[in-house]
Structures are given as C-alpha cells and as structure tokens.
Structure 1
Amino acid sequence: MKKLEKVNYKGFIWPLIVGIVLWCITPWRPAGLSVQAWEMFAIFVATIVGCITKPLPIGGTTLVGLVFTVLLGLAPMKDVIDSKGVVVNQGVLSSFGNSAAWLIAMAFIMAHGISKTGLGNRIAYIMIEKFGKKSLGIGYAITGLELILGALIPSNSARTGGVVWPVVKSVSQDGYNSKPNDSSRKKIGAYVDFTAFHANILSTALFITGAAPNMVAQQLAAQKGYQMSWAGWFLTAIVPVAVATIIIPFVIYKMYPPEIKETPGAKKWAEGKLNEMGPMSTPEKIMSAVFCLSIILWVLSGFFKIPQLDATFVAFLAVSLLLITGVLTMKDALAETGAWNILIWLSILMFMAGKLISYGFISWFSKLVQTGLHGISWQLVLVVLVLLMFYTHYFFASGTAHMTALYLPFLSVAVATGAPLGLSAMLLAFTGAFNASTTHYANGPASILATTGYVKQSEWWKMNFVLGLLYLIIFGTVGTLWMKVIGVW
C-alpha cells in the first residue's frame, strides 16, 4: 500500500502565526503604507519564515506563498495589460522568466557535467599533488581548489558536497587514518574539514556565480540602479579575497592546529588517484573547453553590452554545447533536480520582492529609517547595516532567504542616508557571502561539514566567531579601499 510523503507540519506553525498576525493588524498598519503593501509584506515575511522553519523544501514553501499571493488578490496569474500594451500589473507566471534563476539552473546542469566526467576530482587530485607536502599546504590546496571550482560550479553546496568533501574525507581517512567522531579526528581531518568550509566562503565571495545569494543581490541591486556584472564583481572581490585567502587558512592552522604537521603521503596518494584516472578523457576535454569558453564569455559580457554575451545566454549556450557533444544527455539535465528547484523558489522570491517595491513598501521603509537616522553620517550607517547583515544570520538557515529579506531594505537605507550606491551594494553583497561564518546551520556547506564528526559544534561556533570578525575587518577596510581605487565609489 502506498503511503503519503512525510511533511513537516510543525514547520507551518510559525509562518502561519506570523502571517496571520501581520495580516490582522492591517487596519493599524504604519502611516504611509497602502493596504496592498502591508498585505504583501505579511505574505513575504511568512514565506521567509517558512524558508527558515522548512515545513516543505524551499521550492514547495515558496509555491505555497505564491498561491496565497494570488488567492488574496495581490497578484494575477497573467500580466494585466492596458489598452496601450503596457503591463500595469505583473502576473505570477512572468516570474518564471527571471534571468538570474535561469542562469543558476543552467549552471547547475553544467556542474553535473563536472561530476559526471570526473573533471572536478582530477582538479582536486592535482591540487593535492602540487601543494600537499605539509598540513598547511593541504589547507591552501583545498582553498585553491575551492577558488577554482567557484568559477565552475554555481552552487556552494554542490562544490562542497560533490567535490571538496569527498577529497577531505579521502585525504583524512585514507591518507592519514584521521577518522571522525574519534580521538584521531584532530590528526588532520578536523583542520582540513574546517578549512574547507572557509575556502567555500572565499570562493562564494569571489564570483557572482559562486552561490545563489550573490545572484539575488545582483537582481535586487539592479532594482536600485546598480548593475553587477560577472567581471565587475570579480574585479571588486579579487583583492579582499586574495588577502583573506592568505590569512584565513593560516589563522585556522594556528587556532586549530592539526597534530600531523608534515604530510609527505598526500602527494603519493594524489598521484595514485591520478594514475587510476589515467589521461584526460574526451568528455573531460570537452567539458574543460566549454567551461573555459563560458568564463571567457562571462568576462567579456562585463565589458561589451552585446545581447549574445548576456550571462544567462552564455549558460544556455554552454549547456547546448554539452548536449550536442554528448557530454550530457537530456536525462542528465532533467535529473539535476537542484536546477529546477532553484528555478522555482528563486523566481518566486524575486517576484515577491518586486511586488514589495511596486506597492511602495521598500520606499516607505527607506524613508522611515532615513528619518530615524537623520544627522548620522552615512559611514556609521553603513557600518551598522553591514554588522546587522552579518549577525542577523544567526537567525537564518538560508543565505538566499536572508539576502532576499534584508538586502534591498538595507541598501535602500544606506543610499537614502548618503552612502555611495556602489560601495553599499557591494559591501552588503559580500557580507551576504561571508556571514556564513556564524553557525553550523548557516548554509548548505556548513550543514555538510559541521556534521561530519570532525569538528565539534562548540568549536565551530567559537572559531567562526573569531573568523567572522576577520572577514568584517578585511572586507570593511581592504575591500572598501580597493573599491575606492577601482572607482566603485
């Protein structure tokens, strides 16, 4: 007999309570807000809370939020067009044309090719072979691997779960008999595990395609008139990330030292793995060529405003090439559930955020805070907003939900108080990348690497608190000065 699928019904409690309470106080809403603006806010907040409590996977949760948006009359299914052909009310179906969501979906499918062909593992083994003579070297090798993968795999969870964690596990257990949930965990496994997590943070911060929250920031910043391109983001991030790449693995090494300092066996282990793989296969060569082409076109798209170089089109082109050459099949593409999942929930969340803008909620909030912060320098306001963006992540289990909820309001407040648009947009976006240095549930990679048994939860929180301060200092000082040099503000 078939059974019903398991649903976390308890997860619906808080979203319903929050949504109903906010909806019921509509008659007493703040002055200056329309009924529609407040009601849309109620649904949006309830949906974000649902993304945190997870009664359903995030795609299902956002679909429920979208259904309520239509049922309560806050958006039609199709666009409403006036007699002149102008869209006067955007329908929910139009949300699924969101370019950022499609870019990430296609990039997920491209990432499937890296895993399928074995290219990701080959890159990992080469890095260990070249830099794995010492434990510190392995830490830097893992970091370098993540930085490379950050340009190739747009999902930080996919990079960690699909490529980096298997390498960490193999190096630790197969190479040095350092096992999780065992006294041997600190031989080398704990250090490499924790370093791998922070390597993921750095790779996320370096590329606009490094993780979904970056793409959310790109879309929301565009609504304030600031355009983030692949090349522009990379140029802005390169210096603070480079500084952090030098400092972070070394600080972890000193703060959380492995018992094994020399690792001569890592090189031999990696060589053995490469010998097992043999020379690059034809699928690997094609995959490498397609990804190199994609990166080149993404870079060029930041300099030349040619429709054919649109970042989303480049991703479609890459997937098409992989299908045409036989590296991937349509079955592979359809089986990449992460791609279609993110296409649903990111499109819906972006649609809801857009409705908050069109109904005037964001402009009202911006004016409210601007009035409250009257007389305070924009520099201090921006510092406070960055700190809030960072430390409020203790209350979020999703970087995307956090970014969707707070980025645009915070950016609006910063600009309204006189802060430069470019500086505010990029600092807040970077903070959305490195605020994962908080909890063991901060994002997907944290959920993976904090539960391996190598790092205790108390250790995770304590060390991340220290490293979080380092990120804030590096991006707040080096990042700000670098953005001044290159003319971001």
Structure 2
Amino acid sequence: MLASIGLGLAVRFLVPIPPEISLQAWTLLSIFVSTIAGLVLEPLPVGAWAFLGVTTAVATKTLTFAQAFTAFTNDVIWLIVVSFFFAKGFEKTGLGQRVATIFVKFFGKSTLGLAYGLSAAEAVIAPAMPSTTARAGGIFMPIIASLSQQADSKPNTPSRRKLGAFLVMNQLQGSTCSSALFLTAAAQNLLCMKLAAELGVVVPSAWTTWFKASGGVALAGAAAASLPALTGLLLTPLIMYKLFPPSVKDTPEAPKCLNFVILLQLAQEQLTRMGPMSTNERIMLATMGAAVCLWVAGDMLGISAVVTAMLGLCALLSTGVLTWRDCIGHPAAWDTLFWFAVLVGMSGQLASFGIISHFAGAVGERLVAANLSWPVVFGLLNAAYFALHYMFASQTAHVGALYAAFLGMMQVAGVPAVLGALSLGFMSNLFGSITHFGSGQAAVYYGAGYLELKEVFSYGALMAVVNLLIFGVVGGAWWKVLGLY
C-alpha cells in the first residue's frame, strides 16, 4: 500500500509539471498512477482499491462526483455486466455443460487441442460478431467455465491451474489476433478507418483492404492482416502451453478423471445421460442465437450491441430461465462494473484534460527533431502508441484520443499513408490483453476468477512483445510483398 501511494505522490510532488498541463490534470495523473500501481501490487482487492482511488479524486476536488462516475453509463461496461448474466444462464440451464461436453468430444484429445479449438472458433465467429467483449462474455467464457468445471478446475482456488487458467489466458491473448484479423471483428477497427479518412487517408474498399493490401502491385485477395494475425493465433496456444501450462494434460500417468482418452468416453456417456435438451436449454440457445444475429445485423437495424444484450437478458428473466436473484447474487458482475467504470472514467478525464495528447505530441516532436528515417519512426510510433494503452481502460477511447494524432505524425515523417493507417489499426487490437482493464474482454476473462492480477500483467507484457515482433517482422515482410511500401 505504501509503495502504491508513494508512487503517486512522487509523480505529484517530485516530477516537474509541464507548463502546458494544469495542476488539476497533473494531480489526476498522479492518482491514476497510484491506482494502477495498487491494482498491480494488490494491497486491497481490485474493487476496494478502485474505490479508494476514485474517493481520493473526489475528496481532493480533482474531479467532481459526476466526472468521477460518468463512465457508469458507458455501454461497453454494461455489455460486460450482462455478459456475466449470460454466463450464469449457460451454467444454470446446463447448456454450458452440454456445449462443453461436445467440445470435449470433438477437440478433447488434449488440452492443447481444446485451446486450438476455442481459438479457431473465435476466429470464425469474429467477422460476423463485431464485439470482442460480447464474444468473450456471451460465448467463450461460459464454455471455458463449463469445461473447467468438468475437470474439477474451479475459480479462485488452487485448482484453477488444472485447466481453467490456461484456457482463459489463451483465449484472452488469442482474442487480440482474432480481432485484428478482420475489419468487422471489433468496433475500434471501423473507428480507425473513419478517423483515417478524415485525415485524407482513404483506404479503398476498407473491408477488403484490411483483408488485402491496396495498390497497383498488390496481390488480389491477399490479406494485409492475415499472415501476422494467423501466425499469432497459431503460436499463442503453444506459447501459453509451454509458459503457463495446465496441470491437466493428455498423459497416461494422470488420474482417471484427467486421462483424456477416458475423458472422451465420459463425454459421450455424459451426452447420453443428459438426453434431449430441456426447455430452459432451448430458450437459452434460442436467446443466444437471436443475440448473435442481432450483433451481426445490429448496425443495419440500428440496434447496438448493449441493447441486444439487454433484450437477451429480458428474455431470460421473463421466461424464468434466470431470476433477478440470480443476477443480484452474482458478485463478479457487480465488482467488475465498479472497478472497470472507475478506471474508464479516470482515463477518459485524463484524455479530456489533455494529458495523453501532451505526451503523444512530445513524442512526435522529438521524433521529427531527430530527423529519423520513416521506417524507424514507423516502428517507434507504433510501439509508443501500443505502450500508452497502459493509461487507457478502453480500446475505443484509446483510438479516439490518439489514433489521429499518431497517424498525423506518421504522415509528417513520410510513412506510407495506408501502411500507417492499417498498422495503428492492428495495434488497436493487440494491446487489448496487456492489462485486466485495457479492454472489455480482458475485464470479462479476469472477472471470471481463473487468473491472478500479476499473471494478467506479466503474461500480457510477454505476449505484447511476441505480438509486436510477429507484426513487425512477419507483418513487415508480408506488407512489402503486398506492395504497401
């Protein structure tokens, strides 16, 4: 606790305040730094520490009460909350167990096979379901929870490392590449293209250009994101399997319940015992099917992702599949609502006070003054844009605050326009897993209770380096072949 508070005090009183920054803005930065430090060091549970941070901001008059709690109306946050209730519905009806058993039957020859099966499923669903948060909370976390329960791997207990922690970490890290693979796989991708167009960087045929390079020498149908993103999807399960391994593996020496040959037989027997789907299971399946359809067609119909989720929850409540007591008795949902909203609110106010744009501008000025070649500027700006996400609690907010500024700096430095626009768009997905508050899906996966905070930060940093290398080396070579530069 002393270390967390001391770091914030050091920023406030020992670091010189730039003349362009107000005392109020700098004080908020120091509170934010202290809050983030406490989330990493955990002197208190996440929600409690976030409460201390927001109370400090209000008590010192750094923020008004309305400013401090403005993010509680954020639609992404409520989408996360409702997704927890969907997961409860999967568990309560038994549909989650049925789906998990089917996954075990077809992919369960090994734990690694399960990880690849889940990653492949998300990559297939991603272009038609443009919300990584909805995919995490509405589909994959319920399935992972059911698979983990079958292996006696329970959240917030030592048994979480049997299976659940590995599958959750793999899905969290792999989801960034799934989102980067298609233009319509995440809302921030569409925002990136819109902001690029406003700067005069028009990406012709945006969907296909994201999925193929533009330019006269481009290979028709060749995806700009495909090779680096697919490389990331292929390597992530292997890396997690080696560095963050489950204790449940396909080894003959494993106990009977953990032997995957026997597990396949048990899966078939379990499906037989479960028999036909119950009425509640059918309602749950129909509700999720309708939600997915609305998530796909929502833009055309004018129905947002959060409204779709709310309609789904209303259907479950009105049919009795879920009760209101089920909802209010779900502490993980309400805890996530609080701490995530606090962090989103703080980061949003930092952006509005000009803190983040100041740092971005300072970076740009130094790069221009250094008279570096455009490839060097390209790499440094992408890395800086990525690293600044530690100050954000929303991918979309990050894009809105910094994307145009960084793309403008790239244009001044002579970076090919379409290459700069696409690369920053890819980065806007890849940094979604570096913290537990950096994206909606990260909040969902962390909130499930299978991961410890230090694991999220440490393996998030590790995979950040891996993904930057993949997109820098593999992506760089691929984009050269495609004629992007």
TM-score (norm 2): 0.67
Matches within 5 A, 1:450-469: none
**Contact conserved, 2:357 with 2:402, CA < 8 A, in 1?**
no
Q: Does 1:14 align with 2:7?
A: no
1:126 to 2:102 alignment: yes
- More displaced 10-residue stretch of structure 1: 421-430 or 358-367: 421-430
1:163 lines up with 2:162 in the alignment: no
Match of 1:69 in 2: 57
Letter of the structure 2 residue corresponding to residue 107 of structure 1? S
Note the C-alpha offset of 1:296.
1.5
Asked if residue 42 in structure 1 is aligned to residue 42 in structure 2, the reply is no
Aligned to 1:7: none
CA contact (8 A) 2:7 2:33 kept: yes
Correspondence 1:289 to 2:286: yes
Instruction: Kindly indicate whether structure 1 or structure 2 has the higher relative contact order, using CA contacts under 8 Å at least 6 residues apart.
Output: 2
Matches of residues 303-322 of structure 1 in structure 2 within 5 Å?
304=300, 306-307=301-302, 309-322=303-316
Within 5 Å, which residues of 2 pair with 1:14-163?
14-25=3-14, 28-78=16-66, 91-132=67-108, 137-138=113-114, 140-141=116-117, 143-144=119-120, 152-154=135-137, 158-159=141-142, 162-163=145-146
Deviation sequence 1:372-391 (CA, Å, 0-9, x none): 11134565445346557889
Q: Does 1:331 align with 2:335?
A: no
- Alpha-carbon offset, residue 57 of structure 1: 2.1
Matched, 1:373 2:367: yes
**One-letter code aligned to 2:178:** L
Q: Give the superposition deviation at 1:485.
A: 13
- For 1:340 and 1:484, locate their aligned partners in 2 and report how far apart those are by CA, in whole Å: 47
Cα offset, 1:17, TM superposition: 0.6
* Pair 1:470–1:64, CA change in 2 (3 A): closer
Does structure 1 residue 354 correspond to structure 2 residue 348?
yes
Q: Does the 8 Å contact 2:178/2:229 carry over to 1?
A: yes
Answer yes or no: is the 8 Å Cα contact 1:290–1:322 preserved in 2: yes
The partner residue of 1:271 within 260, 268, 271 is 268
Rounded Cα–Cα distance in structure 1 between residues aligned with 2:171 and 2:65: 42
- Give the partner amino acid of 2:427: L
Matched, 1:383 2:383: no
CA drift of 1:322 comes to: 0.8
The corresponding residue for 1:176 is none
Measure, in 2, the Cα distance between the counterparts of 1:275 and 1:242: 36
Q: Take 1:339 and 1:386, find their aligned partners in 2: how far apart are those partners?
A: 34
Counterpart-to-counterpart distance in 2, 1:133 and 1:222: 41
Distance 1:95 1:470, change over 3 A: closer
Deviation of 1:445 (Å): 9.4
* C-alpha deviation, 1:414, in angstroms: 3.1
> Where do residues 440-479 of structure 1 align in structure 2 (5 Å cutoff)?
444=446, 448=450, 471-476=467-472
- 1:344 is aligned to 2:353: no
Could you tell me how far apart the structure 2 residues matched to 1:429 and 1:277 are?
43
Aligned counterpart, 2:222: none
Distance 1:382 1:100, change over 3 A: farther
Shift of 1:330: 0.4
Residues 252 and 223 (structure 1), Cα distance of their counterparts in 2 relative to 1, 3 Å cut? closer
Moved more, 378-387 or 105-114: 378-387
After alignment, is 39-48 or 16-25 more displaced?
16-25
1:193 shift after superposition:
7.6
Residue identity matched to 1:19? G
* Cα RMSD for the two superposed structures: 5.2
- Structure 1 residue 334 displacement after superposition: 0.7
Bigger CA drift: 361-370 or 475-484? 475-484
Does structure 1 retain, via aligned residues, the 8 Å contact 2:250–2:260? no
Q: 1:99 to 1:250 in 2, by over 3 A?
A: closer
Matches within 5 A, 1:368-447: 368-374=362-368, 375-376=371-372, 379-384=375-380, 411=403, 414-418=406-410, 422-433=421-432, 435=434, 444=446
Stretch moving more, 64-73 or 132-141: 132-141
Contact 2:287 2:315 in 1 (8 A): yes
How far apart are residue 259 of structure 1 and its match? Answer: 5.2
- The residue type equivalent to 2:429 in the other structure is F
CA deviation after TM superposition for structure 1 residue 112, in Å? 1.1
Report if the CA contact (8 A) 1:157-1:445 is conserved.
Answer: no
Q: Which residue of 2 aligns with 1:198?
A: 170
What is the CA distance between 1:104 and its match in structure 2? 0.9
Moved more, 247-256 or 128-137: 247-256
Unaligned runs of 5+ in 2: 127-131, 154-158, 181-185, 199-206, 212-224, 254-258, 412-416, 436-442
Secondary structure of the corresponding residue to residue 92 of structure 2: helix
Q: Which amino acid aligns with 1:351?
A: G
> Residue 431 of structure 1 aligns to which amino acid in structure 2?
L
Q: TM-score under structure 1 normalisation?
A: 0.67
Shift of 1:324: 0.7
Q: Is the 8 A contact 1:135 1:258 kept in 2?
A: yes
The 1:99–1:295 alpha-carbon spacing in structure 2 relative to 1, beyond 3 Å, is same
| 1:319-348 deviation line (CA, Å, top 9, x unaligned) | 111101111010011112222122212222
Distance verdict in 2 for CA 1:479–1:254, change over 3 Å: same
Distance of aligned partners of 1:127 and 1:144 in 2 relative to their CA distance in 1, 3 Å threshold? farther
What amino acid is the match of 1:432?
Answer: F
Verify the 8 A CA contact 1:244 1:471 in the aligned structure 2: yes
In structure 1, distance between residues paired with 2:448 and 2:70: 34
Question: How far 1:105 moved relative to its partner?
Answer: 0.9
How far does residue 132 in structure 1 lie from its aligned partner after superposition?
Answer: 3.9
Contact 2:80/2:137 (CA < 8 Å) preserved in 1? yes
- Cα gap change, 1:478/1:338 in structure 2, threshold over 3 Å: closer, same or farther? farther
CA contact (8 A) 2:35 2:53 kept: yes
Q: How far apart are residue 162 of structure 1 and its match?
A: 2.2
Spell out, residue by residue over 1:292-323, the C-alpha distance to the aligned partner (whole angstroms, 9 max, x if none): 11122112234x2x54x111111111111110
